[in-house]
Amino acid sequence: MPIQEFDAKTEYIVKPALSHSLAHKPVYAMPYWHFDGMHKKNTDAKYLSVGLSQWGDTDLSLKIMRHDKQWSPQSEELPLHRVIDSTIFLAKVLLDREDQSVEIERNLFVEQEKRFLVKQESVTSSEQDRFDNFLKKYDGDLKARFDTLYRLLSSLKTQGKF
């Protein structure tokens, strides 16, 4: 894994080394074990990879590469546009829901010409408590990640990179 550490020289080493024998072919991969939010340093998510997808000769994908005794077939691989769409939906659900519903404005997604409302699924009170308790516990952490994404996108926009 080609990574250049600017300060500490061994801080981001992950074992096992990145696999290049899986169907997904990493083109860029970063060690993720150290950064996996509430699971950092105690996770099977070892790397984030952007590379050649395993399901299409011309597609790129993002893959969360998982390893626990062996490389996991449950490692998630997502087409790049779905990563962005998922992040948009996640932001709406976490930051913009009201009365157990989320309004999806026109043109938030490709060829979505009409707005619509996503209502919360029917869940038990126990399931609702789990959902609410998780968000209460990690609300600050999640908002901080969105703030970091906002700052990065604003900087890239200012630099004319999109």
Residue among 5, 4, 9, 24 at smallest CA distance from 66:
24
Other CB atoms within 10 Å distance of the CB of residue 77: 19
Please indicate, yes or no, if residue 102 is contained in any of the structural domains: yes
Domain membership of residue 105 as a residue range: 81-158
Are residues 47 and 31 in contact, defined by beta-carbon separation less than 8 angstroms? Answer: yes
**Does some domain include residue 128?**
yes
Q: In angstroms, rounded to a whole number, what is the distance separating the alpha carbons of residues 131 and 35?
A: 23
Distance CA 4, CA 63 (A): 21
Q: Kindly state the percentage of the chain with pLDDT values over 70.
A: 93
Residue 10 lies in a domain: no
Contact, 98 vs 120, CB < 8 A?
Answer: no
- How many residues can be counted in the chain? 162
Beta bridge partners of 28: 50
pLDDT over 60 at 1, yes or no: no
Mean pLDDT lowest for which of 26-35, 82-91, 106-115, 141-150?
Answer: 26-35
User: Is 15 inside a domain boundary?
Assistant: no
Our count of domains for the chain comes to 1
Q: Does 34 reside within a domain?
A: no
Domain membership flag for residue 33: no
Whether this model's pTM surpasses 0.85:
no
The answer to the question of residue 122 being in a domain is yes
pLDDT above 70 for 6 = no
Q: Model confidence over 45-76: pLDDT tens digits?
A: 999 999 998 887 788 999 999 998 898 877 78
